[in-house]
Amino acid sequence: MKELRDTQSEHDSRHVSIDRVGVRDIRYPIVVSDKENRTQSTVATIALMVDLPQQYKGTHMSRFIEALHEHQRYLDVHSAVRLPNRLLKKLSAQRAHVEIDFPFFRLKKAPVTGMEGMMNYDVRFEIDAERGKEGSFTLTIRVPITTLCPCSKAMSDRGAHNQRGIVTYSVRFSGPPVWIEDIIDMIEQCGSCQLYSLLKRPDEKHVTDYAYAHPVFVEDLVRNVAVATERHNAFSWYRVEAENFESIHNHNAYAMVERDLS
């Protein structure tokens, strides 16, 4: 059989190294830890990347898929953490970066009637590895929340405007990881009110009244989450972003706090 040409390994003369190259938008089953049910199965969207030295024309894309499929039927957090080191070895790279995005589901009871509805939260694992250095694992969770404007409440005689927002919360751990559900609970306590998928009339009255009694600016929201984070000793770094989808403005409100606690 005629030897096939390995074009990717040929020399490139432009002297430009590439920081990240690889494959994205891979769908793959994943099993994640669940505080109530031990585990839950969901579907992840995965990106696998490595660096490429300036002398090489290209990387070997098939090897990324080979590394992923060595896990056979599904990924879990333990096999996910090992993925970057597999990429380093398989692609002879110096640095590897893995992103794993998936929906995380939990049943949530309405505050008065107790009726259950399913909530979903966007979760991301980011895992980095570099030869000769300690790797890093970053957990990001996007939590929807309600905020009610303190300024509107202070000025108005008949109510105050409120809106739905998103808190994007990223952490690195200094010890054992914290349950995803516990992080969600912590964030949901920091806004004007939590969101629910199913509300009957008594529940709707409760959340309306509760939000009115707990007004927060977007600045208050990120500060509340920062204070709650720093009460724990489980984290070495965090970043909290809040974005309100304003109900009376043609723009969104945004705030961010980032701290290195190590």
pLDDT tens-digit map of 4-58: 777 777 777 788 999 999 999 999 999 999 999 999 999 999 999 999 989 888 8
pLDDT attached to residue 7: 76
Which has the closest alpha carbon to 234: 210, 262, 208? 262
Contact 68, 83 (CB under 8 A): yes
Mean pLDDT in residue range 200-211: 98
pLDDT attached to residue 58: 87
pLDDT attached to residue 112: 98
Token pair of 174 as six digits: 């200094």
Contact 22, 47 (CB under 8 A): yes
Instruction: Please tell me the distance from the alpha carbon of residue 194 to that of residue 109, in angstroms, as a whole number.
Output: 11
pLDDT attached to residue 22: 97
Indicate if the pLDDT at residue 3 is higher than 90: no
Q: What's the chain's Rg over C-alpha atoms? A: 23
Condensed to tens digits (0 to 9), the pLDDT of residues 133-148 reads: 999 999 999 999 999 9
Distances from the Cα of 175 to the Cα of 181, 233, 236, 243, angstroms: 17, 8, 9, 29
* b/e code 140-159 from CB counts within 10 Å (16+ = b): bbbbbbbbbbeeebeeeeee
Instruction: Please tell me the distance from the alpha carbon of residue 94 to that of residue 70, in angstroms, as a whole number.
Output: 21
Condensed to tens digits (0 to 9), the pLDDT of residues 66-107 reads: 999 987 788 999 999 999 999 999 999 999 999 999 999 999
pLDDT attached to residue 185: 98
